[in-house]
A and B are shown apart, each in its own frame.
Chain A
C-alpha cells in the first residue's frame, strides 16, 4: 500500500510538472522569445514564396458584424494585396474577451478602447504600443488638435490611442406626437420647465398610448446622457458629478436635476416601467411612437435612418437647461480610441490600416448609403466639413440639433471617475433609487461624493491622477476649449 501511494504521488507530481512545463512553453510564446520569432520567420517564408498577405486581427465592441468598421476594412483589404485585416465584433462581452486575450498572450493587433477598457490599465499591463513615432506631420495637420492632446489616451506624456470620432448628446423628439398633443413640432422645448410642461401635455393627450419622456434607468450610461449633460450645460459639474472648479466630486450639485427627473417619474410623465428599460428599449419605444422625447447621441442619425430605417418623424434639438441659467460649453467626448498591441508582429502595417480607416470611414459610410448619407463626426475636420455640407446629409431626419452649436463644444480632457477603484456603491446603482423614491436626495448624493472622493485620494496617492489633471488652472465651465 505504501509503495502504491509512493507511485501515485510520483505520478501526480509528474503530471503537475508536465503541466508546468506546458505552461512554460506557452509563456515563451507570449513573450518575444523563440516561439514568436519562429512564427515570424514562418510568415516571412510564406510571404516570399506565395506572396500571401499579412493577416492582422482587429477587434471592436460594435453591435453587429455588418457595420462601417467591417465595411471600411473590407475596402482596405480590396485596395491592396499586402495586408488583410480580419475584423471581430464582440458586443457587450468585448471588455471581458479583450482582458482574457491580454492575459493569455492572444491580444489582437489592433483594438479599440471601449466597454470600460481604460488606457492606463492597458499600458500598465504592457499591452499598448506608444504611437508618437507613427504620427506623421500630415496626420497632425489633418486631425483636430484635440485628437492628440486628449489626456485619457496618454500615459506619462506618450500617446497610446487615437480617437476616431466625436460624440455628443441632443434631445430627440417625435414630431408626430408633438402635433397630436397640440404642440408646434418645430418648437422643441428650450428649457427644462418647458420640457416638463410638454411631457405633461403629451402624456395627457396620449392617455396611456404614448408618453412624454423616456429615461433608460437600467442603462448606467443614462445618467451621463441626461443628468451629467445637463449639469455641465448648467455650469455645475462634469461627468459623474466631478467638479473641475473644486477638483473633487460634488454630486450634491446635481440635486435639482435629480429632483426634476424624480418628479417626472413619479408624476408618470415617463413611459411606465422606465426603471426596467435599457437604452435599446427606449429607442424601440421612441421609434414606434410611444415616447415623445429622450436624450441620445450623435450616432443615432445614422442608426435610425440607415441601420434601422424607421419611419418615425423625428428631429433633434439642443438639450434644455433650467430657465434663467446661462448656457455653458457643451460636452463632446472623443470616442473609439484605436490602439496597436505591443505584441503585434506587424505594427507598421497595423498603423497603415488604421490610417486608411481614419481617412476613409466617412466616405465608405456615404457610399454604403448614397441616398441617406450620415453626418460625419470625424476628427479629421476637412472630411467632416465636406461630408456635412452635402445636400443628402442636410435632408436627413434628426439632423437639425446635431448640426447646431457644433463649433462651441469641448471634451473634458480628464474624466477622473474612470481612474477610480470605488469602495462602495457607484453612482449608477444609487441614482435609480433616488429617482424612484425621491427621498433623501441631498443626503445620498453627499454619501456618493464621500465614496468617490475617498477613491480619488487613493488614485492620486497611487499616481494615477495628479493635482494638475483634476484641478486645471483657470478652469471655467463657460469657456472650455
Chain B
C-alpha cells in the first residue's frame, strides 16, 4: 500500500513536471525544430524568396561539395576556432586567477574586462575598423610615431593581418565572459587547500599548478565547448570589419551562408539552406568528436 502511494506521488510529480515543461517544449518546437525541418526541406529546392520553391533533390548538396569557396570559409572558421582557443582560454584563466582575490579595486578591473562582452559587436567593429584603418588609422599612427613602422600597414586589406584583427576583436569581447566562468569555478575551490599549501611552504605558482588547475578540471570542457560553438557562430565582427574580404579570404561559415541567403541575385536561398544544414553537421561532428575524446580522458582519470 505504502509503495503504491509513493508511486502515485511520483506520477503526480511527473505530471507537474510535464506541465511545467510544456511551454518550453512548444517554444522549442516552434523556434528550433520547425525552422530546422524547414531549412532541410528548403535545402532540397531552388528558391528565390519570392516564388514557390521547386524541388530538385540533392543537387544543392552536390554543389556544396564542389564549392571551393565554401570549404575555404570552413577552413577559415576552423582556423579561428584553434586561434580563439589558444588565445582566449589561457588569457581568461590568467585574468581569473589574478582577479579572484578580495583586494580593493579588483571589482573595477573585473568590470572593465567584462564590459566588452555586453557591448554591441557592431559598434566595437566600427571602432576597430577606424583604429586599424590604413589611412589615418590610430594604430598605424602610434606605430609610426614610435618608429616601429615606416609606412602604414593595410591591416584589413591583407588576409593574415585581417584575421589577426578579427581575432583581436573577438578575444577582447569574449575574454571577460570566460574569465567570469573561471572565477566562479575558482571560488568554489575550498580555501583550506590553499591555507594548508601555504603552511607547507608552496608559493603562488605551485598553488596554481597543484591546486587551482586540477580543481578546475571540470570547467575546461564547458569552456572549450562554449568557445568552439562561439566561433562557429562568428559573424558580426567579420561582417563589420572586412565583410569577408579582401575577395573571399576572411569569409567564415555563417557569413558565407548569410551572403548567399540575403545578398545574392537569383534563386540561392535553397542553396544557402543546404549550406546551413552542412554547417550544422560540421559543428555537430566537431562537438561529438570533442565529447568522445574528453569522455575517454575523464573516465581514464
Contact = CB atoms under 8 A, between A and B. Distances in A.
Do the two chains belong together in a single complex?
yes
A34 interface: no
Contacts of A271: 135
Contacts of B266: 419-422, 455
Given A272-B135, A276-B157, A425 B50 contact: no
Interface in A231-286: 271-276, 285
A1 B246 contact: no
A433 B250 CA distance: 12
Nearest to A425: B69
Interface stretch (A116-124, A308-316, A472-480): A116-124
Interface string B204-245: 000000000000000000000000000000000000001111
A102 B244 CA distance: 29
A418 B266 CA distance: 8
Interface residues on A, range: 35 or more
A217 B266 CA distance: 23
Contact of B51 (A15, A121, A276, A419): A121
Given A4-B14, A273-B156, A121 B69 contact: no
A125 interface: yes
A103 B246 contact: no
B50 A125 contact: yes
A144 interface: no
Interface string A99-131: 100110000000000001010011011010000
Nearest to B157: A275
A contact patch SS: helix
A104 B247 CA distance: 35
A433 B49 contact: no
A117 to B, nearest CB: 9
A134 B12 CA distance: 70
B111 to A, nearest CB: 33
Contact of B247 (A276, A285, A432): A432
A309 to B, nearest CB: 23
A117 B264 CA distance: 10
A15 B25 CA distance: 12
Contacts of B117: none
B247 A433 contact: yes
A433 B249 CA distance: 9
Contacts of B245: 217-218, 275-276, 429, 432
Contacts of B48: 121, 421
Given A4-B15, A8-B18, A11-B22, A426 B264 contact: yes
Given A122-B50, A433-B247, A273 B157 contact: yes
A96 interface: yes
B16 to A, nearest CB: 10
B200 interface: no
Nearest to B30: A19
Nearest to B267: A421
B248 interface: yes
A99 B50 contact: yes
A406 interface: no
Given A15-B26, A455-B266, A124 B154 contact: no
Contact of B67 (A121, A420, A424, A455): A424
A116 B265 contact: yes
**Interface-centre pick from B14, B135, B137, B242 (highest chain A CB count, 10 A):** B135
B62 to A, nearest CB: 10
B134 interface: yes
B11 A422 contact: no
A11 B19 CA distance: 11
B18 A272 contact: no
A430 interface: yes
Contacts of B137: 273
B265 A276 contact: no
Contacts of B262: 95-96
Interface of B: 11, 14-15, 18, 22, 25-26, 46, 48-51, 63, 67, 69, 129, 133-135, 137, 152, 154, 156-157, 242-249, 262-268
19 contacts: A12-B25, A121-B49, A121-B51, A122-B50, A125-B50, A125-B51, A273-B157, A275-B156, A276-B133, A276-B134, A276-B245, A420-B266, A421-B266, A421-B268, A423-B63, A429-B247, A432-B245, A436-B157, A455-B266
Given A1-B11, A426-B264, A436-B246, 4 more contacts: A96-B262, A99-B49, A273-B156, A424-B67
